[in-house]
Amino acid sequence: MIDLLGTAAGAAVVFAATDVDDIVVLTLLFVAARTTGRPRPWQIVAGQYLGIGALALASAVVAAGLLVVPDPWTGLLGLLPVALGVRALLDRDADETPAVVGSIIGVAGVTIANGADNIAVYVPVFRALGPADSAVFLLVFVVLIALWCAAGAWLGNHPRVTRLVGRAGHWLVPAIFIAIGVVILATSGVLPHLRDLLR
């Protein structure tokens, strides 16, 4: 017999703690959807489900001992938001908020890159859980992804946010994506490994 409320509360805490930075990304994506039409809102939601689903699945596979992920090297995923930010920064149409990504796969890629460090949290959690508890965790994640998307959509339509992004979006949005990528690279421990490799 599982403690349903306790397990659900634990899942909510784990999700919120690991995905709080995702609200910023979602907000920017929804602002881009509103101002440029790309990506479409349904693509943002689907990409978010796909990205977090992939992270949860990879974590479950690693927790089961079926795959070993070389820990610091997942930090290389930080190159994706850096590349997307630089591309958007160099975009010649600088009068509007750039659509940093424009497809489900693009949204999923950014979600995976931004959440690569989540695997370090999810793996020990899934190792400690039985099948029933894991199912509760995944169900709570499904509900909270919808809540996160709703919060991002609300912020992306908030007048103050849209005014700020409207005034400075041509450099602010790419700068935020670059900053996210740099933080992923810096905190993952991959940079010292690369330095050692190049010696």
User: Which is nearest to 180 in space by CA: 12, 29, 31?
Assistant: 29
Number of domains comprising the chain: 1
Structure tokens belonging to residue 67: 């795959």
Full pLDDT tens readout for the chain, 199 residues: 457 788 888 889 888 888 887 888 898 889 888 878 888 999 999 999 999 999 888 888 877 775 565 566 666 777 777 887 787 777 755 555 556 777 899 899 888 888 777 777 788 888 888 788 888 888 999 999 999 999 999 988 888 877 776 666 677 777 877 887 787 777 767 777 777 777 7
User: Which is nearest to 155 in space by CA: 28, 35, 36, 21?
Assistant: 28
Q: Which domain holds residue 155?
A: 4-198
pLDDT, position 81: 78
15 vs 96: CA distance, rounded Å: 33
The per-residue b/e assignment along 188-197, b for 16 or more CB within 10 angstroms, e otherwise, is bebeebeeee
Express each pLDDT in 92-104 by its tens digit: 555 555 567 778 9
pLDDT, position 93: 57
- Let me know: does 107 contact 39? Beta carbons within 8 Å: yes
Structure tokens belonging to residue 125: 């959690």
Sequence length of the chain is: 199
State CA 150 to chain mean position distance. Answer: 15
Amino acid at position 167, single letter: R
